[in-house]
Amino acid sequence: MEYSALQKARYGYSPKLPGILRGDVAAILTKAGRPTEAASARAEIKAAFPKTYGMPEVELAAGSNPQARERRGVGVVLSGGQAPGGHNVIAGLFDALKAGNPDSQLVGFLGGPQGIVDGKSIELTAAIVDGYRNTGGFEIIGSGRTKLETPDQFEKAASACKRLGLSALVVVGGDDSNTNAAVLAEHFLASGEPITVVGVPKTIDGDLKNAQIETSFGFDTATKTYAELIGNIERDAGSAKKYWHFVKLMGRSASHIALECALQTRPNLAIISEEVERKRQTLAEVVEEIAGLVAKRAEAGDNFGVALIPEGLIEFIPEFGRLIAEINELLARSAEAFAALSDLEGQLAWLRGKLSAEAFAAFSALPREIQAQLLSDRDPHGNVQVSHIETEKLLTAMVGERLEALAAEGKYSGKFSPLHHFFGYEGRCAFPSNFDADYCYSLGYCAFLLLAGGRTGYMAVVRGLSTPAEQWKPGGIPLTTMMDMEERHGKKKAVIKKALVDLAGKPFKAFAEKRVEWSVANHYLYPGAIQYFGPPEVCDQPTITLRLERS
């Protein structure tokens, strides 16, 4: 196989580890700290997870840990969407496992959680792992989105682990994937299966975080990748001076990616979904805000600009949030009846008598193509796939109509030429930044020490991430601490809660302080490509979000 020069150089990169992880793994133990509770719905979550609820936080500390020397089999699964650094989690796990006992085995389940159920796996050897170090993607074993929630799935998972001689399973994924991990850990304990389950926080969306998880891996690389592209677009916009660029950014619900990219590039407009929801802005009000900015810039002769749109925006606009919630609940209850309808006309007639009058009015006001996107295939959790909704095109169409009305009133004389972009898959498999390469390798190492300490139902965490890697503090927190009750397929379930943008937090406040200035003046920043070689202040810096939150 041919490799680029960058590939060859990245294979040789040695990730930086926290000081505590640089010694003998048998001299590092898991030290119990304070007991924990869920942030809300404690009684319901405790009832759902009686074996794993209330466990203490743990930190890694110097001490004797002979269990790390035991020969063991460990399984690993990549779950959910790809995120830069996943291969380094596996590399860190592999290296720590082999450092404990060279005869230990690491087994990768193929194709995500379904690979556990089907027992499809491959032994991960040094030759295999070395071919993926410091690279993007999940190619090494693939991924998937299967939910583990039935007794039959649990039994098959346990059988697969026992057949392969595995005493532990590491689940690398986001909030839903780590809900899988929590359920598996609880089931294995309740049924007496001696299989330890440890989770690792992954998602480019940045919504798997809390007081203990400072950031999910992949967020750093993805936002830097998108910011490079946005900066290039800003440079082009300022050069051509004739296009408005509307950039939709990946992020299923939360606007962390849009906020971080705004901080890195200073666009003329960045909508933050959580603020739209707090202000209870209607779609018409969002359109009015955008049209007003376009008109104001046109007065200065600037018939161009850059606007960032979060992927999940439409769910945060109150009338559409209610509409989508009703559609989700309705289709969860009547999936077969809806599936039998062959065209959009039949679907609309079916919906008319089942949605509330308010929801149906909001639905009817949308263009047909947006209506079809709202009714398209659901995600594995029964929800609208917001990435399929072309929100940026809906907004520009309505902004264009509003500008025509303003022109007729003599309040606008510019030219509005919108262009559309959607940055999503471009960032999920990029070469991980030095930060993500280091962070993920540390998470893999930490996951081994948690399972070696018998800490089941835990998430591997590394804290102090705004400091140099030497000072990072690895440990573990119980998965149940992050849970809340959420409606799925029409029923309440205990799931790991998504973290939305904190409008009282430092990153949003920093953005809000400057956005009016950025809107009318062209203070664009051009981050350029991710740098892998050079001084730490160029190559190793974490996101602006993380630096502000931890300052």
The three-state secondary structure class of 148 is: coil
Answer whether 544's CB lies under 8 Å from 223's CB: no
**Beta carbons within 8 Å of 367's beta carbon, 6+ residues apart:** 394, 397
The three-state secondary structure class of 245 is: strand
The position carrying tokens 């939305």 is 500
DSSP class of 217: B
Among candidate residues 175, 176, 205, 438, the one labeled active-site is 205
Quote the CA–CA distance of 110 and 90 in Å, as a whole number: 13
Give the CA distances from residue 434 to residues 134, 441, 514, in Å, rounded to whole numbers and listed in that order.
9, 11, 29
Q: Please choose, from the candidates 522, 35, 6, 545, the residue with its C-alpha nearest in 3D space to the C-alpha of residue 236.
A: 522
Answer whether 276's CB lies under 8 Å from 310's CB: no
Quote the CA–CA distance of 106 and 88 in Å, as a whole number: 14
Share of the chain residues as helix, strand and coil, in percent rounded to the nearest 5: 45, 15, 35
DSSP class of 521: S
- Residue type (1 letter), 141: I
Given its phi and psi angles, is residue 434 left (phi above 0), alpha (psi -120 to 50 degrees) or beta?
alpha
Alpha helices (runs of H) in 119-268, residue ranges in sequence order: 126-130, 151-163, 175-190, 219-240, 256-265
In this structure, the number of other CB atoms found within 10 A of the CB of residue 10 comes to 18
Is 118 designated active site?
no
**Beta carbons within 8 Å of 35's beta carbon, 6+ residues apart:** 54, 55, 56
168, β-bridge pairs: 74, 196
Which three-class secondary structure string do you get for 37-103?
CCCCCHHHHHHHCCCCCCCEEEEEEECCCHHHHCCCEEEEEECCCCCCCHHHHHHHHHHHHHHHCCC
**Beta carbons within 8 Å of 358's beta carbon, 6+ residues apart:** 319, 322
Pairing between strand 473-478 and 56-62? antiparallel
What is the maximal distance between C-alpha atoms in the chain? 80
Looking at the chain, the number of H-run helices and the number of E-run strands are 23, 15
Quote the CA–CA distance of 294 and 402 in Å, as a whole number: 11
**Beta carbons within 8 Å of 313's beta carbon, 6+ residues apart:** 255, 271, 273, 276, 286, 391
Quote the CA–CA distance of 180 and 496 in Å, as a whole number: 10
For residue 521 the two structure tokens come to: 């003046």
List the catalytic residues: 205
